[in-house]
């Protein structure tokens, strides 16, 4: 079975959002069209507590986009975004959600970030996505959404590690930084991933 994972198509990652991905809204029509081609569609959702450790606001001597060490892991500091229960954390209202069978929330623990839809950044806690896909007999995963150089990339890498044939759908994802994504794309391809 082939599954589509829609990563973090949330208000805060769209133009005017707290952590806007350039042209992030332009991929939504493609994602809506793609969904009909899959046996299973799931989504991920950043769902941070208001005092999340990845927020620059929690580190008074630091600036947004600084890198610090957070509980033994390198951590980029972000603007406050996708805070649980806020409008910014909601899935985009232009995203067709009718076919989405399950939503896997991530970044829920304040002491560790979670880019991947499968695990937190330290792989200390699973979201349940891997087990869900295995139970549904999924063998191939296609990934789209926001942002290509962070949450899409890390979801794709963990998908490969879990043994799924994995592709990133380029027309249905956008990066925060194109250069960063180009470097990460090479690593993904070297590991056996595909770009569609």
Catalytic residues: 8, 106, 151
**Burial annotation 42-71 (CB, 10 A radius, 16+ → b, else e):** bbbbbbbeeebbbbbeeeeeeeeeeeeebe
Report residue 78 as tokens: 């972000």
Contacts of 88 (CB under 8 A, 6+ apart): 10, 11, 12, 17, 18, 81, 82
Separation between Cα atoms, residue 33 and residue 8, nearest integer Å: 17
In angstroms, the Cα distances linking 57 to 61, 85, 147, 149, 160 are 9, 18, 21, 23, 34
3-class SS of residue 6: strand
Q: What is the dihedral of CA 104, 110, 115, 120, to 10 degrees?
A: -80
């Amino acid at each position: 079975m082939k599954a589509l994972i829609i990563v973090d198509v949330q208000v805060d990652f769209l133009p005017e959002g707290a952590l806007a991905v350039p042209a992030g809204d332009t991929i939504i029509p493609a994602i809506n069209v793609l969904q009909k081609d899959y046996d299973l569609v799931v989504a991920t959702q950043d769902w941070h507590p208001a005092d999340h450790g990845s927020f620059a606001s929690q580190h008074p001597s630091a600036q947004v986009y600084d890198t610090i060490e957070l509980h033994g892991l390198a951590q980029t500091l972000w603007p406050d975004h996708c805070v649980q229960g806020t409008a910014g954390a909601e899935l985009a209202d232009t995203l067709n959600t009718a076919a989405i069978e399950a939503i896997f929330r991530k970044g829920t623990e304040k002491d560790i970030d979670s880019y991947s839809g499968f695990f937190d950044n330290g792989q200390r806690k699973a979201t349940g996505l891997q087990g869900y896909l295995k139970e549904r007999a999924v063998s191939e995963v296609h990934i789209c959404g926001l942002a290509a150089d962070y949450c899409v990339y890390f979801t794709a890498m963990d998908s490969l590690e879990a043994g799924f044939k994995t592709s990133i759908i380029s027309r249905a994802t956008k990066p925060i930084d194109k250069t960063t994504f180009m470097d990460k794309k090479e690593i993904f391809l070297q590991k056996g991933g595909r770009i569609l």
